[in-house]
Every structure is written in structure tokens, then in C-alpha cells.
Structure 1
């Protein structure tokens, strides 16, 4: 008889695989685990010891065919989750590496790339704030050990370094951009300030805002411009009304 294979669900709950069937925990006692078929239309059950390596009660009959191709997809998600937590690899690198051993026979169960990217993102954003509601210490420094948080409150978080601000000051022409797709739930746009460096435009300041009104952008510009005697001659931006009003107002102040 084939052995019991231990698995984990996306939520980290124990599952087992046996002869093409996947089981999830239904009940736990002081001496055993009671599993039921993952297919909720099936009444099959089995009992194992607490370490999930021996059957105390053999699986009962299933009302459907086995689905062994689902196992590689679960194993893939388990591997990706583990690497997302324990390594600093990029999202694309984790996915590419994990897919190398994925069997072609289970291609029909392969999760979409977007779903795998979201899985990694969720693993890496579990610890977003400390007990005081602030970003944890490990997110407040760069790999070069520079302070990375310029400002933090419930309405605005600004990420930059002294080095970045120095580069920004040397440039008279700035570029502004924003995106909404990568923001955490509590914030709306991710606003960025860019400048030219060695023939390339690079992001130097990142701001997480709770909205996109002129007041929201004003707050960001005021916090940045107060750091030094910044005197940009121009800031190129998109056509967001709030951004344009804020740029005009804050740049004009520097020359009056």
C-alpha cells in the first residue's frame, strides 16, 4: 500500500495525499486526526495518528476518480510560499525556479502566474506593522544600512534616503509618476519622484498616500521640500488634477 504524503493548504492547514486522493482535516482529538476528502461532494473519510504517517482507520470508498494531478500544484504553492518567507529572491526568480520541476502531466492544474505572484506578495506582507502600528525595524533600513523612512503617519509614508535626496537636489528637472496596482489595502496611490542619473531616469522618492487630492500631494511635497533647499525648475507629471495643482503651488513657493 502506498505511503501517506503530507501536504499543506494555501492557508497552512495540514492535508494528506494517498493513492491520488487529497484529504483535509475535519476533526482533531488527543490521539488522532480525522480527515475527509477534499472534494466536498465526497463522503470518504480516514483517520491517522497525530504525526499523520500511519492510518488508524483506512480511507473509505470515494464517489469519484482519483485526482493525482492536483498534488504537484499544491506542492508548487508550498515551495513558493516557503521560499518567499525564507529568501530575498525576486518574485520572478522564485516562480521560475519552482516551475523547473513541475511535471507537464499536471499542466492542467498549474495556477496562473498572477495567482502565484499574489501568493508571494501575501507571504511577504504578513508582518507590515509592529505593535505600535509602525513599520517594523527591518523595513526602515536599506541594504546599505541607510535610513529609508523620511516620514510616517496614518495618511502618508515617504520612503527615501539622504543619498537619494542629494541626487534629487542636484537635478533641476524632476519627473513624477504614480501607480495604483502595487499599493497595500490602506493606501491608494504609490507616488514616485524621479531624476536623471548617468543618462537614466531613476526613482528617488516613494510616497504611499491615502488619496489623490491636491491636499494629499501637498503634504508629500511639503515633507520632501522642507528637507533641503530644493529648487526644481520643473516637475513633469501626468494629468491627475490633484498632482498638477500641487506641483504648481509647491514649485511656485520655492521662487517667491
Structure 2
């Protein structure tokens, strides 16, 4: 089993590769069970460093195996100890299939045979031998339904989806389904929020928005969420199920929120999605729509791979430094962006020219053909991704709080593309947890402290930006890369987003 390891915050993190797949299912007691490499783990306890401790199920059941593992998120683990028994891939697969069968049985009104036809397609050859007989599985489905006789039918299309009145409320009885464009709308949109959450959104000047896809019911395309700062915390306040990600749909969501209510955000952070950028700019013309630093660097790295430069980037330190310097242009004053880009282009190796061309077209703007006429408008102009003032003012530079929430919510759901009713139940539970966070913030509880390594890095970055004037631009970009960019680029290169990264 091959693991990809990177150094991060003085620990060796193990990230899943194509050969190591972490899967999560719900245990019979309602908890989470981890399937990894043919072994099954059950949760032992929460650890002080933010990890969750899991142990081999044989340790829990018979004390035969002492293997343990520390997990953070849905795809990161470390300190995995060895088992004293071989893996059982068949049993792991059978357990996964049985969990899916139970979930589908309790969430749909399909006949037992239909449930089995839908779930048994996931069974492997090894898993077949570990499953109970089909008759026993049918009896289990009927028994589970007797325990849950009010299961709602699973909608197969958005036109089939009818949400009963009692399902439109939070667990506390407040109206939660704020907007439904209707069953006959071919671009149907559902917006979940509460009056209290909208009130908080109206008082917040800093918003964050992003979409996620794996956790979405199959009849929808994406879950788009809007988060905002409140007493130092970043909390989710609006949840939208959408059938696409075009500008018109985003505009409809924002129009529904603005109906009868005024919002005055001054800064809205998103990833580099052109449709969302335009929708926010039109709805809130006085707000600064800002791109996420992490996503900017991620796009540069993706372009490096597209141009076939990944091996050279990995092996050549000069190429690697100069590529990272492209992202560091975000930390010069916005009026110096063109000068910084041209200075870097003047010393960069020829192999990086395709990446520089992409960055110039997309984020800087090509020079006009007529000399002295400036530059063409970039798709994402420098004012959107520049971080000079944000750094000096102590503002967020990434959207990683939102992405971290998306991962935690996906873990809570426990499956990719759940049924609509499973999704809605989990969303209501998540909303209830967020209400606790909001209540604690109102009572004066401070937000989680940044780790010391991030605090130190941020202070170094502020000092570097403060002392920008008078430095040679290329020297500034080089110094920034060498002192501040190692963590963020290590995470990008490992294709993972650290939930606490605020560099």
C-alpha cells in the first residue's frame, strides 16, 4: 500500500493516493465506521490535537488487534499502526453494501427487490461470500421499515420532489425552506435559511461563498453555501440546492435573499468562478468581490500540470521558485501588478512561458496592440486577487473556512450523493450545531485560536508587506516565496486543502 507523505506543521501527514481509499459508513449504533485497505475501524475518542482516534474493530470486540489510526477530515490520516491479522476486503465490501441497503430501505418506499437491485450492484466478488442470503436481506429491509414506517418516497427528479410542511422546518420548529422556485421550474432552486440567520447575514460585512458537489442529492447539481463573519467566527448562514452553476441561477438566489431585506456586504470572497463573480457584482455593486488566494495558487499549479511541466517543477528548484513567484504577485500593491509581472517574466525560464501567458491573459490582461494604450481587461482583474491591503488590514485571504465546512458536512452525511431526505436531515442537524456556535459567540466565546505556526507566518508576512516599498520587486517575490509560501504550496501539490490554513 503506497502512501503519499508531506511535511505539514511538524507532522508527517498521509494523504490518500490512488492506492489508498478511505470510505465511511454509518455503524449500527449511528456512529461512523472507517473502511481502509480491507480493515474496519471504529471511533475511540476525540484527541486534543484536533484528530479523531480510531481503532481496529477487532480491538473493540475481542481485544485481538491493537491497531490504531488518527484521522482528520475525510481523507487525511497519520500514525497508523500495523494490524496483527490480514485485511478482509470481502467483509469490508459486504459491510458497506449492507449499510447502503439499510439506508435506502429506511429512506424510500421501493419494494425490497428494488432496494437490493440498486445496492447489490456495488458488491465485489469477495463481498458476495460475506453477505447474508437474499431472503435474509429482504427480511432485514421489512424489519427496518417496521421500525421506520413513515419513510418518505425518494424523488427521482426535481419534478417529483414535494416537501411536506413538517419537513420545511428546522429541528427547533423554525421555517427553514426559505425559497422554493417550484416543481415546474426546470431550473429549480431551493434556499434553506432562517430569519435569524438572514439577520446575522445583514449585519456582516464579510461574506464567503463556495459550492460543493459530492454531498448533493442526485436530482440536484450543487450545494452552494454563503457564510459570514460573526464575532470573529465564520458561520454558514444560507444553503442553496441548484441544478447548475450559471450566472442566472446565482442571480436568482441573491434576488430571493434580497426580497424585502437589505444587505450591505463590503467584501465577498469566492473562488474564481466567473458566473458567481458577475452575479455578486451586479447584486452588490458597492462590495469588493475578492478571489481566494489558495484557489489562485491552485489554478497556477493546475496550469503547470496541463503544460506538461509537473516533472520539471518537482525536480528543478529554480523552476519551482519562479512558478511560485507568480502567485506571490498578489502581495505587491495592486498598482504595481503589471510592473511585478513584467519583472518576473523578464527573468523567468523559457519553460514557464506558457504558464506566464495563461496568467497574463486571465489575471493581468494582455497589452493592447497599439503601443501606449494600456492592457486589455483580464477575466479576473488584479483588484480581485490582490492581497496587499487585505494583509495589512488583517482580513482573510482564503476561503478555506468554507471548504473546511464542506468537508465536515460531507463526513456528517456519510455518503456521496445521498437521498434528498437523508441530505435534508443532515442539513438540519448541521444547522442546529451552527446555532450552538452562534449562541456561544453571542455569549462572548472566542473563535478557535490559530496554531502558533500560522500566527508566526502571518506576522512575518505582515512585516514583509509593510516593508515592501524600497525593495526590488523580484527580490520581494523571491523573499516571499522562501519565507511564506511553503505551506500553501505543499498542500496544493498534495491536492488537499488544509482546513485551518489562513496564510
Task: Please tell me the TM-score bracket, short chain as reference.
Answer: 0.5 to 0.7
1:96 matches 2:124? no
2:235 maps to: 202
2:248 maps to: 215
Q: Shift of residue 108 of structure 1?
A: 3.6
Q: Could you report, residue by residue, the CA deviation over 1:111-140 in whole angstroms, capped at 9, with x for unpaired residues?
A: 2699479827646653356x9732234432
Tell me if the contact between 2:169 and 2:175 (Cα under 8 Å) persists in the aligned partners.
yes
SS state of the match for residue 284, structure 2? helix
Counting matched residue pairs gives 170
Consecutive unaligned residues in structure 2, runs of 5 or more? 1-24, 35-40, 44-55, 65-84, 109-151, 288-503
1:176 matches 2:209? yes
Q: Shift of residue 141 of structure 1?
A: 1.5
Change in Cα spacing, 1:215 to 1:178, as seen in structure 2 (3 Å) is same
2:265 maps to: 232
1:133 matches 2:161? yes
Change in Cα spacing, 1:222 to 1:121, as seen in structure 2 (3 Å) is farther
1:240, 1:221 → 2: CA distance? 16
SS state of the match for residue 96, structure 1? strand
Point out which structure has higher relative CO (alpha carbons under 8 A, 6+ apart).
2
* 1:151 counterpart (171, 179, 204): 179
2:264, 2:281 → 1: CA distance? 13
2:281 maps to: 248
Q: CA RMSD in A?
A: 3.9
Q: Shift of residue 110 of structure 1?
A: 3.2
User: For residues 183-194 of structure 1, what are the structure 2 equivalents within 5 Å?
Assistant: 183-194=216-227
1:183, 1:245 → 2: CA distance? 24
1:114, 1:213 → 2: CA distance? 39
SS state of the match for residue 242, structure 1? helix
Judging by fraction of residues, say which structure has more strand.
1
Change in Cα spacing, 1:209 to 1:113, as seen in structure 2 (3 Å) is farther
1:113, 1:232 → 2: CA distance? 50
Tell me if the contact between 1:91 and 1:117 (Cα under 8 Å) persists in the aligned partners.
no
* 1:167 counterpart (172, 176, 200): 200
2:253, 2:286 → 1: CA distance? 15
Q: Could you report, residue by residue, the CA deviation over 1:40-95 in whole angstroms, capped at 9, with x for unpaired residues?
A: xxxxxxxxxxxxxxxxxxxxxxxxxxxxxxxxxxxxx9x94xx5xxx8x46569x8
Tell me if the contact between 2:266 and 2:286 (Cα under 8 Å) persists in the aligned partners.
no
User: For residues 5-16 of structure 1, what are the structure 2 equivalents within 5 Å?
Assistant: none
TM-score by length of 2: 0.29
